[in-house]
Amino acid sequence: QGIWPAFWMLGANIGQAGWPTCGEIDIMENIGKEPATIHGTVHGPGYSGGNGIGGSFSLPAGKRFADDYHVYGIEWSPESVAFFVDGTQYFEVTPAKLPAGKAWVYQHTFFLILNVAVGGGWPGNPDATSTFPQEMLVDWVRVSRRN
């Protein structure tokens, strides 16, 4: 309860544009109260926070993402962001999926963040069932570009 590991990206122009205008791409978020589910989401102006555009992927009953290594990824182009786990695409967002009149803000440089957050509105706060310390084990991170 209350633990929130994530791999995500922010627009490198955050210092000038601010959030959410800079854009945010959440490659993988997993909140402790949903151990079998990951979420992939984009946030931008007019569709941020609880109104982000995203999808989720769940493991079969009894499985938890924390029990094994998994490969999380996106394929990102100027007009789409497709979300993958273990080679399976589970969601794709394009400008057509945004609320009417809202800007697609994913056509510039972003930087990566890997973190474990504790508490917050979405995962809730830790309670008596939470265990500490927590860790996120990462075997590798790879960024590549199509020719």
Active site residues: 24, 29
Residue for token digits 């794709």? 92
* Dihedral in degrees, nearest 10, Cα atoms 36, 70, 136, 109: -110
Q: Kind of pairing, strands 88-93 and 110-118?
A: unpaired
Handedness of CA 92, 47, 7, 16 (dihedral sign): positive
Closest C-alpha to 103, from 53, 55, 56, 145: 53
Closest C-alpha to 115, from 129, 135, 98: 135
Which structure tokens are listed for 130? 């939470």
What's the chain's length in residues? 147
